[in-house]
Structure formats: C-alpha cells, structure tokens
Structure 1
C-alpha cells in the first residue's frame, strides 16, 4: 500500500483571502490550510507550535506550501522543531523582509529572520518587485536556507493583487518538489 503525501498550506499575515492562489489550491486540490489562532498579531512561537500540532496529527510525509510570513514560519519552525524529518519539501513564496525598518509593528516579533539551512528540499519563489522584500534580500534568504531560487518576474507580493488565479507556474514547482526522491 502506497502512502500518499499530504500538503499543508501556510498562509502569511492576515491569512489568504478567497481569491488568493492558496485558497484556489485548497478548494481545487483539497490541500489543508493550517489555521492560526491570531492572524492579525502573529506570534512566531504560537505559529510554530500550531504547525507542530498539525504536522503530528498525521503520519504521512508532508510538503509545506508557504506564502509570505508562512515562509518565515517554515524557516523558524525548521530551526527549532524536533519533527522536521516529517517534512519532505517546501515551496516558499514571497518571503517578507521582517527586519526591514518599515515592517508593521505586528511583525516585529519575527526578528531576526531565521537563516539556518533547511533540512529538506525547498524552492523559494520571489518577485522582482515585491514591496515587502527587495530581491537581493529574498535571494540571500533562499541561499541561506539552501533553497533553489526562482524569480517569478514582476508580480508584486505574489498574492491576490497579482491576479495569479490557480497559479499554474506554482503548481508546476510544487509538482517538481513532489517528484524529488526522499533520502
């Protein structure tokens, strides 16, 4: 009997609205969104504990699909969790620069950015004109995480405002991660 993998969606600050590509993927493919207790004032430790809780509820190998602050969640969680081996890969989209001076005060507890190498394969997708992270900063995060960097072009924060719909290019990147053999 083949064990199927599971895919968890990790939205960023304020969650992903109904027109966000993550919401489309949730509806179309049945991926599980990790709900957080507080989307407005996200506490890094609380979000990490919630990811552990959801991850431990299912034995299947798991892939993480993170947007924005969800990408920072993956980096922070992987650095501290004893359960990182349960993750088979991660698609990290539009990581914000939470160390930037103009970040909203709600995100200050996400400093410093965790930069340890991730213990699983990952792809980091960034836009050339993301208002929440300069390209060079995002590229450095991807390098630090040991993640393959993919430049998506000028799509802002790769969110609803970018009109990505089902975001087929993102689906192709996830399919690529799903095909990486586990060690």
Structure 2
C-alpha cells in the first residue's frame, strides 16, 4: 500500500481548497505537517516532513502545493526515505527570499535531481513563478512538466476547490 502525504504551502488551506477536499475525501491521506499558519519556518516544515516520511517503511507519494514544494525538495536534498514520487504543484520562485525567522534555513531552493519520480504542475498565469521558471525547476529536478494552462496559483482564489486533473496525476504516480 502507498501512503499519501499532503505537504501544505505557507498558509492554512481554506476549507474549499483542493488539498482540504482531498484530505476529507481520503481519510488515509496525512498532512506533513498539519497545516500551520504563518510564519513559515522552513526548517520546522522539513523536520515535520522527515518525521512523517520516516514513520513507516511503506512508500509515500508526496503531494505538495506552493511553499510545500520548497519543503519537499529541501527535504529531498538532505534526507532519504521511502518516497515513491512527488506531485509538485505551482512551486514558487523564491530565490533571494529572506526568512521570516532568523533561525530558519536559508531559502535557497535545491536544484539537484530528485531521487524519486516527480511531476511539476505549472501555470501560465501564476503570480509567483513564470512558466520559464517552472520549466527550469522541472529540468533541474528531473521532473515531468505538466502545463495546467491559465490557472493562476492553482488555489482557492483562482477557483480550485475541486481539481480532478490533480487526482488523476496522483493516480498516475502510484
């Protein structure tokens, strides 16, 4: 059996956000970590993801949105564990971002090839990342790039409560 770990972005996903909907529809999906609010401390998020991945020898699929993608690739640069694949949905381009907490890890996005299969979902109209930056992430991480079209940041604000195409991508990663 494969575990599914939801890696949230910076804020708390609204009740109608696709990640919340998936969590409600699939009680076996676990948060890694449970969605906190700001501030986003990357070191804490990476530690929480490591604890969740290490909890079992059962393989996991990581499902990350926004800053959760940065958590995921940072984890992969420093740790190993039973991860089968990752769905990286609209990772933000944060080079040069100053952490909100001076004790945090530097926000330098790892650019090395991921040690597991990955899919980067890219938007043509994301306010945080250009399509060319998504393409570079996918190339650097050795990930497949999925062009989702004009979907903004693929969040509640851009109309993504339900996201059946995302569920199909997760099914393809199993």
TM-score (norm 1): 0.86
Report the equivalent of 2:84.
88
- Are 1:124 and 2:131 counterparts? no
Give distance in 2, aligned partners of 1:176 and 1:42. Answer: 30
Aligned residue pair count: 171
Q: How does 1:1-183 map to 2 (within 5 A)?
A: 4-30=1-27, 31-35=29-33, 39-81=37-79, 83-84=80-81, 86-99=82-95, 106=100, 111-178=107-174
Structure 1 unaligned residues grouped into runs of 5+: 179-183
Deviation at 1:59, TM superposition (A): 2.4
SS in 2 for 1:112: coil
What's the C-alpha RMSD, in Å, of the aligned pairs?
Answer: 1.9
Contact between 1:11 and 1:34, CA under 8 Å: does it hold in 2? yes
Give distance in 1, aligned partners of 2:56 and 2:169. Answer: 24
**Structure holding more helix per residue:** 1
Give distance in 2, aligned partners of 1:26 and 1:40. Answer: 21
Give distance in 2, aligned partners of 1:28 and 1:67. Answer: 18
